[in-house]
Amino acid sequence: MAISEHRILEILNRYTSPGSPATLVESGAIKNISIEGGSVQVDLSVPAPEKAAAEKLKPEIESALLGEEGIEEVELKMQYHLPTFSAAPKAPAAPEPPPRNAWAGNISGVKHVIAVASGKGGVGKSTISTNLAMALSRAGATVGLLDGDIYGPSQQMMTGAIGNPQGTAEGRIIPMKAPGGVSVMSLGFIIDADQPVIWRGPLLMKALEQLISDVEWGELDFLIVDLPPGTGDITLSLAQNVPLAGAVIVTTPQDVALIDARKALHMFEKLEVPVLGLIENMSGYTCPKCGHVEYLFGEGGGKRTAETLDVAFLGAIPLDPAVVVGGDSGRPIVEADSDSATAKAFIEAAKKLGEVIKER
Ligand SMILES: Nc1ncnc2c1ncn2[C@@H]1O[C@H](COP(=O)(O)OP(=O)(O)OP(=O)(O)O)[C@@H](O)[C@H]1O
Ligand SMILES: [Mg+2]
């Protein structure tokens, strides 16, 4: 793909102009950009006393530009001018904060949007999202489940909803129906889930926006959003654009996972999103032969963390091979074996979650 001047300006705008509080773009340091095929020339002009700083910056900018797709060669020319004392560079005006809850109008029929998050990957967010959604639905609520993991969607497999989503005459998307009645939408229904998603940030955000705004979610008591691991762009974008009832943090009993759970919790606090509770997953394993419970990853860590951080503890979900089978076969344990101890743990956690929301 050919490189655009706009993209080059975006990159240059990341750097502060030597001797100025403004960026290279804002301070007017960029005198010329020329592009010929893959070769790019940029002329910068900085005050002469800043020469040493400019020389240091030069290789940094060059390698950033060279790292960009479509750029093969970079020539960065520095010119030095005498400082102009009369027109001291102005500090850039603080950027306008983007509007909050920009997508809310499209899901006005949804009462509570709940994000399921974790600081660490693979702790069971998707499994918990599916089973919580199904447990809430069994309790009589109208529930939607949105797969917010745009890079690695999994709900197209875990929920057992099969087929391709249909469109309405107005070009909106009708969510899929999972057994048990939960409405599900995942990018995995649309793209080939075996192919890695290699989109850049803005496209990912657009995909998230479409999964929320262009889908006919209709009237829902709960929309559960299964987030990707960590505290990245998708989580920030969701918190920014959708009024969240709150977040549920998933962790395992391991120390590292608990540290990451704390991080996730603090991030939601900063985003002013209430944390509704913490769920410990992959808790005790019950030996099917003798009934002995073994705590492979430690015991009670989730509960202690919840107490320390003063958030509700929604429950501990056992480590149970039936959960893996249920997820892989599209028959989540809450649906497939609702009387099992593990399904009951999910149902109990969903009940507690409902209570926390009611209290608020
Ligand atoms: N309670 C459990 N008992 C046994 N296996 C479980 C349990 N919870 C999740 N798993 C298994 O652990 C694996 C990871 O779970 P899952 O995909 O839900 O995690 P995740 O946090 O969504 O991962 P990612 O961060 O990649 O999105 C899956 O194979 C799942 O079946
Ligand atoms: Mg997941």
Domain ranges of the chain: 5-81, 106-359
Residue 23 contacts residue 16 (beta carbons within 8 Å): yes
Instruction: Name the residue at shortest CA distance from atom 26 of ligand 1.
Output: 122
Q: Tell me, what's the pLDDT at 19? A: 83
Q: Which ligand is nearest to the CA of 230?
A: 1
Q: Is 23 helix (H, G, I), strand (E, B) or coil?
A: strand
CA–CA separation, 111 and 226 (whole Å):
17
Atom of ligand 1 nearest to the CA of 327: 31
Confidence (pTM): 0.75
CA–CA separation, 255 and 252 (whole Å):
8
Query: Any idea which fold 5-81 has?
Result: GMP Synthetase; Chain A, domain 3 (3.30.300)
Q: Quick one: DSSP state of residue 196?
A: P
Q: Which ligand is nearest to the CA of 345?
A: 1
Q: Quick one: DSSP state of residue 215?
A: B
Sequence-separated (6 or more) residues with CB below 8 Å from residue 56: none
CA–CA separation, 351 and 135 (whole Å):
8
CA of 279 to the centre of ligand 1 (A): 13
Atom of ligand 1 nearest to the CA of 342: 1
Instruction: Name the residue at shortest CA distance from atom 28 of ligand 1.
Output: 324
Instruction: Name the residue at shortest CA distance from atom 19 of ligand 1.
Output: 124
Q: Tell me, what's the pLDDT at 28? A: 85
- Amino acid making up residue 171: G
Q: Which ligand is nearest to the CA of 281?
A: 1
Atom of ligand 1 nearest to the CA of 121: 25
* Exposure b/e, 165-178, CB count within 10 A at least 16 = b: beeeeeeebebbeb
Q: Tell me, what's the pLDDT at 125? A: 97
Residue 296 contacts residue 331 (beta carbons within 8 Å): no
Q: Tell me, what's the pLDDT at 199? A: 66
CA of 127 to the centre of ligand 1 (A): 6
CA of 122 to the centre of ligand 2 (A): 7
Which of 128, 163, 126 lies closest to 148, judged by CA?
126
Q: Best substitution site from 118, 125, 126, 127 to test ligand 1's pocket, by max atoms within 8 Å of Cβ?
A: 127
Q: Tell me, what's the pLDDT at 37? A: 92
H helices of 67-186, where? 125-138, 155-158
Q: Is 44 helix (H, G, I), strand (E, B) or coil?
A: strand
Question: Could you read off the pLDDT tens digit of each residue along the chain, which spans 360 residues?
Answer: 788 888 888 898 899 998 888 888 888 888 999 999 999 999 999 888 889 999 999 999 999 999 999 999 999 999 988 876 545 556 667 767 677 899 999 999 999 999 999 988 999 999 999 999 999 999 999 999 999 998 889 999 999 998 889 999 888 999 999 988 999 999 999 887 666 666 667 777 889 999 999 999 999 999 999 999 887 889 989 999 999 999 999 999 988 778 888 889 999 998 899 999 999 999 988 888 888 888 887 788 889 989 988 999 999 999 999 999 999 999 999 999 999 999 999 999 999 999 999 998
- Does the domain spanning 106-359 belong to CATH 3.40.50.300? yes
Crossing angle of the two packed helices 255-270 and 301-309, in degrees rounded to 10: 30
Lookup result for tokens 């492979």: 296
For ligand 1, whether the C-beta of 188 sits within 6 Å is no
CA of 3 to the centre of ligand 2 (A): 34
CB atoms within 5 A of ion ligand 2 belong to 125-126, 149
Q: Tell me, what's the pLDDT at 90? A: 64
Instruction: Name the residue at shortest CA distance from atom 16 of ligand 1.
Output: 124
CA–CA separation, 10 and 3 (whole Å):
12
Which residues is 188 bridged to in the sheet?
none
CA of 124 to the centre of ligand 2 (A): 7
CA of 281 to the centre of ligand 1 (A): 9
Give the DSSP H/E element, type plus range, for residue 80. strand 73-81
Give the DSSP H/E element, type plus range, for residue 183. strand 183-185
Instruction: Name the residue at shortest CA distance from atom 11 of ligand 1.
Output: 324
